[in-house]
Structure 1
Amino acid sequence: MTESRSVVITGASRGLGLASAAHLYRQGWQVVAAMRSVDAGMARLRAKTGAGTGDARLTGVTLDLTDPASVAAAAKAVEQAVGAPYALVHNAGISAAGMVEEAPVSLWERMFATNIFGPVALTKALLPSMRAAGRGRIVMVSSAGGVRGMPATAPYSAVKGALERWGESMAGEVAPFGIGVTILVTGTYDTEIITDAGTTDSRVLDGPYARHHHTMDKRGREAMKRAAKAPDRFAGGLAQALESTKPFVRRSVGPDARMLMIANRLLPGAGMHTLTRLMMGIPRFGALGGTPAASMGAPDPNIQESEENG
Structure 2
Amino acid sequence: MPADYRDDLTIPAPVTRSVVITGASRGLGFASARRLYREGWTVIAAMRSLDPGLDELRRATGAANNDDRLIGVQLDLTDRASIDAAAEAIIAAVGAPYGLVHNAGISAAGMVEETPIDLWERMFTTNIFGPVALTRALLPSMRAAGRGRIVLVSSESGVRGMPATAPYSAVKGALERWGESMAGEVSPFGIGVTILVAGTYDTEIITDAGTTDSRDLTGPYARHHRTMDKRGRYAMKLAARSPDRFAAGLAKALDANAPFVRRPVGPDARMLLLANKIMPSVVMHHMIRAMMGIPRFGALRDNRSD
Cα deviations by residue, 1:128-164 (Å, 9 ceiling, x for unpaired): 0000000000000000111000000000000000000
Greater displacement, 153-162 / 282-291? 282-291
Unaligned runs of 5+ in 2: 1-14
Contact 1:182 1:249 in 2 (8 A): yes
- 1:81 and 1:291 mapped to 2: Cα distance? 66
1:211 paired with 2:231, answer no
**Aligned amino acid, residue 95 of structure 2:** G
1:85 paired with 2:97, answer yes
Cα deviations by residue, 1:41-61 (Å, 9 ceiling, x for unpaired): 101101110000000000000
Q: 1:174 aligns with which of 186, 194, 201?
A: 186
SS in 2 for 1:197: helix
Contact 1:4 1:28 in 2 (8 A): no
Indicate the residue corresponding to 2:170 in structure 1.
Answer: 158
The TM-score, its normalising length taken from structure 2, stands at: 0.94
Indicate the residue corresponding to 1:186 in structure 2.
Answer: 198
Map 1:32-181 → 2, pairs under 5 A: 32-181=44-193
**Aligned amino acid, residue 225 of structure 1:** K
- 2:35 and 2:117 mapped to 1: Cα distance? 37
Q: 2:36 aligns with which of 24, 42, 51?
A: 24
The structural deviation recorded for 1:181 is 0.1
Question: Post-superposition, which runs of at least 4 consecutive aligned residues in structure 1 deviate over 4 A?
Answer: none
- 1:8 and 1:14 mapped to 2: Cα distance? 15
Cα deviations by residue, 1:91-142 (Å, 9 ceiling, x for unpaired): 0000000000000000000000000000000000000000000000000000
**Aligned amino acid, residue 48 of structure 1:** A
SS in 1 for 2:153: strand
The structural deviation recorded for 1:216 is 0.1
Identify if the C-alpha distance between structure 1 residues 52 and 291 changes in structure 2 by more than 3 Å, giving closer, same or farther.
Answer: farther
**Aligned amino acid, residue 293 of structure 2:** G
Indicate the residue corresponding to 1:262 in structure 2.
Answer: 274
**Aligned amino acid, residue 8 of structure 1:** V
Greater displacement, 206-215 / 3-12? 3-12
Unaligned runs of 5+ in 1: 293-310
How many residues align structurally? 291
User: Which of structures 1 and 2 has the larger relative contact order (alpha carbons within 8 angstroms, sep 6+)?
Assistant: 1
**Aligned amino acid, residue 281 of structure 2:** G
Contact 1:8 1:89 in 2 (8 A): yes
Q: 1:13 aligns with which of 25, 34, 42?
A: 25
Indicate the residue corresponding to 2:11 in structure 1.
Answer: none
The structural deviation recorded for 1:243 is 0.3
Q: 1:224 aligns with which of 204, 222, 236?
A: 236
Contact 1:85 1:130 in 2 (8 A): yes
Cα deviations by residue, 1:230-281 (Å, 9 ceiling, x for unpaired): 0000000000000000000000000000000000001111000000000000
- 1:270 and 1:102 mapped to 2: Cα distance? 25
- 1:144 and 1:97 mapped to 2: Cα distance? 15
Cα deviations by residue, 1:181-212 (Å, 9 ceiling, x for unpaired): 00000000000000000000000000000000
1:201 paired with 2:213, answer yes
